[in-house]
Amino acid sequence: MKNLWAPWRIEYILGRRDSRCIFCPDDQGLSDEDRLILRRDDLTMVMMNRYPYNNGHLLVAPLRHVSRLHQLTEDESREIMNWVTKSTVILQNIMRPDGFNVGLNLGREAGAGFEEHLHFHIVPRWRGDTNFLAVLEDIRSIPEHIKQTYFRLLPNFRKESSNEVV
């Protein structure tokens, strides 16, 4: 028997399923903490992926609901890349990964889970994080509870939000 504990997934399993966009302003009164939002401003947001590929998996998105890169304003494009960069620096300083996968999936066929609202993925990677569990059994092991990671990262995003552009 195989046991893999991921206690934060129970919220998804038991929760109400709807088609609301996870990146759009919340009309249900949820806090940024509940939504795992680390920072947001008038143009962009950074949030944790609730169902991560790896510990510290972040999403960077425009606040506007757009699905294609050409729909972004120059300011949105600049701020998204600015926060992709800042996010990798914060993750490097706090979690010490050996590398990152950074990218976006445009369209469902490209793997976009929320194809209507484009977003960049930042996935920290460590030597050996793709081990026999993932290869042989299609199981991932996430070593830290998602809320613990959120609270470790949050002060750094608050500090970085008050600083100049990288």
Name the token pair of 26: 């919340």
Which residues are annotated as catalytic? 119
Q: What angle do CA 130, 110, 77 make, to 5 degrees?
A: 95
Q: Are 83 and 44 in contact (CB under 8 A)?
A: yes
Give the C-alpha separation, 166 to 161, whole Å.
Answer: 11
Cα-Cα-Cα-Cα torsion 90, 7, 54, 114, nearest 10 degrees, comes to: -90
